[in-house]
Amino acid sequence: MNILLTNDDGVYSIGIQILAKSLTDAGHNVLLVAPDRERSGCGHAMTMDRPVHIRNVNRLFLSADFEAKACDGTPTDCVIMAIDAMRFEPDMVISGINQGPNLGDDLTYSGTVCAAMEGVIFGYPSIAISLVMSSKDKELYNDTAAATLMAMLDWTKGSPIPEGVLYNVNVPNLPISEIKGVL
């Protein structure tokens, strides 16, 4: 599957790095285009006052078999640049792994969710995935979120994401062995 991977925590975030590895290890063709810095809370903002640029950051992912780009714009800009400027045709847009929950009123502010929403606007099935953690957590279980997403991708083979819908997935910050189920 051709997957456009982005986030709002930036290209240097451990969440997107773990997810990119999981996706490529499973045989997916990944194009990673993420902000060059933390852009949490920017919502569905687009850069309108200047040109948006992307640069190659493959050196960050030396052992990976995918293309990685840093964008000096918002998460929405990342999706637009990948699809419009780079002419990438994804089978799915995935945004995350966000470091923190995306629930309730926070959805309107979330660059993670809004990047997935931009994928839906372009007509692609999209998933936003977040790790529900807090600053008090001593350990982060991004691997649990990645495994959850991989299971969802298997599930969507038999039950595709309906047109115009994005899935917003929030995964508890727990070892996968402690996850009891999915709602």
pLDDT in tens, 37-74: 999 999 999 999 999 999 999 877 766 688 999 999 99
Residue 156 in any domain: the answer is yes
Residue 182 in any domain: the answer is no
* pLDDT for 61: 72
Residue 106 in any domain: the answer is yes
Query: Residues near 158 by Cβ (< 8 Å), separated by ≥ 6?
Result: none
Residue 80 in any domain: the answer is yes
Q: What percent of the chain is modeled with pLDDT above 90?
A: 90
Number of domains in the chain: 1
Domain that holds residue 87: 2-173
Give which of 87, 82, 141 is closest to 129, Cα–Cα: 141
pLDDT band at 13 (very low <50, low <70, confident <90, very high): very high
Least confident stretch, 6-10, 59-63, 80-84, 173-177: 59-63
Q: Is the pLDDT of residue 101 over 80?
A: yes
Residue 85 in any domain: the answer is yes
Backbone angles phi, psi at 181, to 5 degrees: 170, -175
Q: CATH number, domain at 163? A: 3.40.1210.10
Query: Residues near 31 by Cβ (< 8 Å), separated by ≥ 6?
Result: 2, 3, 4, 5, 66, 67, 69, 82, 86, 88, 90
| Average pLDDT score, the chain | 95
Q: Is the pLDDT of residue 112 over 80?
A: yes
The whole-angstrom separation of Cα 99 and Cα 101 is 7
* pLDDT for 62: 61
DSSP per-residue string spanning 106-161: GGGT-HHHHHHHHHHHTT--EEEEEEE--TT-SS--HHHHHHHHHHHHHHHHHSPP
The whole-angstrom separation of Cα 70 and Cα 148 is 26
Residue 183 in any domain: the answer is no
Q: Is the pLDDT of residue 24 over 80?
A: yes
Query: Residues near 20 by Cβ (< 8 Å), separated by ≥ 6?
Result: 5, 30, 32, 61, 64, 66, 68
Going from the C-alpha of 78 to that of each of 69, 103, 149, the distances in angstroms are 9, 22, 21
Q: Is the pLDDT of residue 29 over 80?
A: yes
- In this prediction, residues 117-143 reach a mean pLDDT of 96
* pLDDT for 64: 67
Please report, in angstroms and rounded to a whole number, the separation of the first and last CA atoms in the chain: 25
Residue 113 in any domain: the answer is yes
